[in-house]
Structure 1
């Protein structure tokens, strides 16, 4: 959710299981008060807030500490997501999430678990070599500092690169829990636009496998086929370790939570 999504969270609260992790983004057009208010709402409604820390948007160490202090005041620092962020040039002393992790500041404010980014289909602006090196370095740094870790990935439409990437993560000796990014149900045109923006493969073959109707771009699509196929592939590979899902709620919190509830009920 974003800082603006508190009304949507309140609307969806009865559809979301208590204790669910809900990430709160760190957008450039939202301020400190909005981010903290959103994290506070998540906590007060019985969920687990996971505030984002956008390294390249931080203008100083003081700004990072102020953010963490405010989050700690509302009980929202145990889980955070450290990510590089969008600006082409860092606005302060943190060029990437690894520098935030290595600062040692997170523990001062009660952080116990740090989510870090994973990119099964690569990143449009970062080479694969750099992505893998940073994933290994961040995993090692968190382990050295006694912090729990979760790898949270970009969203995906195709199970094949996701499974290949999971195998590579495990081959590198990283046994951290992985949460595969999955778009909640949303308009097809909207999902394809996000895919282009984030460098996610969305050619005709892939979107057909996902379940899109290319003849009805005005329609909506959910991740039913992707989730079902991914679960089947993971069941065939016990060495995949702990793998779960993270939903990107492009179509809204209520639509995503309703989909998850109905899908789970159908499986059981």
Structure 2
């Protein structure tokens, strides 16, 4: 990939973190203030750990995007309470996936009704993100996921793609989005420089973050992390050069799944930027 293209992506990153006990300290120690931090939500622990960590990080001056899964919201009253609480903390950006809670906590089965309800509340957030699935969702047909993004386009301001390890698949997905006139900017989901042993330990210890849950549904992905010369984020980005940097792609930046290996992710980003800077 041309240095300018990759360099620009590395300057426009989001770090997804899990609301565990040490997360706040790790973010404060290693994440620059100009890097957006997104906080996942657990179908087991509910929204409270996400909201509490979001409030604390925002108070420290970080730009924080909480995940507000539809299936963790009880009703419109609950949604308003959550929205008011976040706005009081200065949050103006939320990510609204459907979520994994089964059964749902309340009336919302998917993200679209929540997006509509936010509109009815006066659109309290300047930015609202929704999920994209470059690789097949384990339960939903690909055409339905792209149709879903079309349905959400009037209520959202950007798309965050879930993990993808295949540059060809990623490129084809972006083309399909644009052919369907989904014009929302895309933040491409990429796993950071994750060590398999640490990832497995995190999955065992927490086992509830949406990103970790998604990974565990794809056990072959663990092999990619473990294989000699296997997964490396820089190699994926290089091979996806044309898909990510084409003017028609509309890629706004990278969404890095840290799996709470926050220091390692930031070190990798800095070292790669230094190499590109010569």
TM-score category, normalised to shorter length: 0.7 to 0.9
* Among candidates 241, 248, 265, match of residue 256 of structure 1: 265
Q: Does the 8 Å CA contact 2:132/2:160 hold for their aligned counterparts? A: yes
1:227 partnered with 2:237:
yes
How is 1:98-137 mapped onto 2 (pairs within 5 angstroms)?
98-104=112-118, 107-108=121-122, 110-137=124-151
| SS of alignment partner, residue 20 of structure 2 | helix
Please, what TM-score do these two structures have when normalized by structure 2? 0.79
Equivalence for 1:61:
76
Q: Name structure 1 gaps, 5 residues minimum.
A: 143-147
Q: How far apart, CA to CA, are the structure 1 residues paired with 2:51 and 2:123?
A: 14
| Residue of 227, 239, 262 corresponding to 1:214 | 227
Aligned-pair distance for 1:201?
Answer: 6.9
The SS at the match of 1:46 is: coil
Structure 1 pair 181–106 and aligned structure 2 pair: CA distance change class (3 A): farther
Q: Distance in 1 between matches of 2:123 and 2:25?
A: 27
Q: Equivalent residue of 1:155, what SS?
A: coil
1:242 aligns with 2:251: yes
Instruction: For CA contacts below 8 A with separation 6 or more, give which structure has more relative contact order.
Output: 2
> Number of residue pairs matched?
250
1:113–1:160 CA distance, 2 compared to 1 (3 A): same
Contact (CA 8 Å) 2:149, 2:182: kept in 1 or not? Answer: no
| Correspondence for 2:88 | 73
Q: CA deviation at 1:238?
A: 2.7
Matched residue SS, 2:188: strand
Q: Which residue of 2 aligns with 1:52?
A: 67
Contact 1:12 1:257 in 2 (8 A): no
Q: Provide the residue aligned with 1:169 in structure 2.
A: 177
Contact kept in structure 2, 1:187 and 1:221, CA below 8 Å: no
**Judging changes above 3 Å, is the alpha-carbon distance between structure 1 residues 200 and 214 closer, same or farther for their aligned structure 2 residues?**
closer
Structure 1 residue aligned with 2:57: 42
CA drift of 1:30 comes to 2.9
CA distance in 2: counterparts of 1:228 and 1:25, whole angstroms: 28
- The separation in 2 between residues aligned to 1:114 and 1:27, in whole angstroms, is 19
Q: How does 1:9-20 map to 2 (within 5 A)?
A: 9-20=24-35
SS of residue matched to 2:159: strand
TM-score, normalising length: structure 1: 0.82
Q: CA RMSD in A?
A: 2.8
CA deviation profile, 1:147-192 (whole Å, cap 9, x unmatched): x611101111111100000011111112211111111122235668
- The runs of 5 or more residues in structure 2 that have no matched partner are 1-16, 204-211
Q: Per the alignment, in what secondary structure is the counterpart of residue 111 of structure 1? A: coil
